[in-house]
Amino acid sequence: MVATALLRVYGELQDFVDGDRAGLLEVPVGAPRSVKDVVESVGVPHPEIALLLVDDVSVGFGHRIHGGERIAVYPPFHAIDTAVVSRVQPPAPQPRFVCDVHLGRLTRRLRLLGFDTWYRTDTDDDELAAVTVAEHRILLTRDRELLMRRIITHGYCPRSHDADVQTTEVLRRFDLADELAPFSRCARCNGVLRSVAKADVIRVLPPRTRAEHHEFARCAGCGQVYWPGSHTTRINRFVATVRAAAGADRHRNG
């Protein structure tokens, strides 16, 4: 008879478990294996987990499961500092992200909000994982297998397919609603924007812009020049919307 463990997944982590399996799960263990493997066998990526309890004791991902244990799996709770008892979630790095190739629209929105976000259309899973680790970034991907790679420490799987909702999810997950810095980063290449004198960029400005605008910024990376326009109002509205939504979600889920 195959040994089993009883596993309960809490909160938003139930998003990863099939609807008819939500609640208390009896998971086959077989030969002794890590609790990380046991939990991920039901679909929950380890970077999404804030606290693991085995028989009411906080454990790390390497803890061995033999069968007969009761495993409780918790997501982050903003009103509860699980870090004081958790053995699975080290302090999060600075909010610098890596987005996989399917999250280009989310990438643009995060950059518009001022967050350093690495993105390439010609990358692969190995490079995404390597950049995440080497540059101490947070991986954003809907590919659960990529998120489950052992070397990934911090990451998040956006639940929604809508980029605006994804942005709110990321802000809420990493508690960033108060750390937005709009118009500080290039949405195209991720470079930092710096104020520049009109005289220094006047040769590249369209005639109407040259006549009507006097404040400019230039990307330190690609040289793209930015100035206020009708898009500024739309971006400001977007910023206010996601900030309010992330703050509301934070209080509701805390």
Q: What is the pLDDT of residues 129-182, one digit of tens each?
A: 999 999 999 999 999 999 999 999 999 999 999 999 999 999 999 999 999 999
| Range 155-164 contact pairs with CB under 8 angstroms and sequence separation of 24 or more | 155/45, 155/47, 155/48, 156/47, 156/48, 157/16, 157/45, 157/48, 158/103, 158/106, 159/12, 159/15, 163/103, 163/105, 163/106, 163/108, 163/109, 164/109, 164/238, 164/241, 164/242
pLDDT of residue 22: 59
From CA 230, how far away is CA 138, in angstroms rounded? 32
The phi and psi torsions of 221 (rounded to 5 degrees) equal -95, -60
Contact 179, 116 (CB under 8 A): no
Average pLDDT over residues 53-71: 97
Q: What is the rounded CA–CA span in Å between residue 112 and residue 164?
A: 12
CB 134, CB 128: distance < 8 Å:
no
**Percent of the residues in the chain that have a pLDDT greater than 90, as a whole number:** 81
What SS3 class is residue 240? helix
Residue 67 exposed, middle or buried by CB count within 10 Å (0-12, 13-18, 19+): middle
Q: Is the pLDDT of residue 252 over 90?
A: no
Whole-number pLDDT of residue 68:
96
Flag the least confident range among 16-20, 156-160, 221-225: 16-20
| Cα 201 to Cα 250: distance, rounded to the nearest angstrom | 42
Q: Dihedrals φ, ψ of 81, to 5°?
A: -85, 85
Q: Which of 44-48, 64-68, 240-244 has the lowest mean pLDDT?
A: 240-244
pLDDT at 85: 79
4-84 classified as CATH 3.10.20.30: yes
Q: What is the pLDDT of residue 131?
A: 98
Tokens of 121: 């259309």
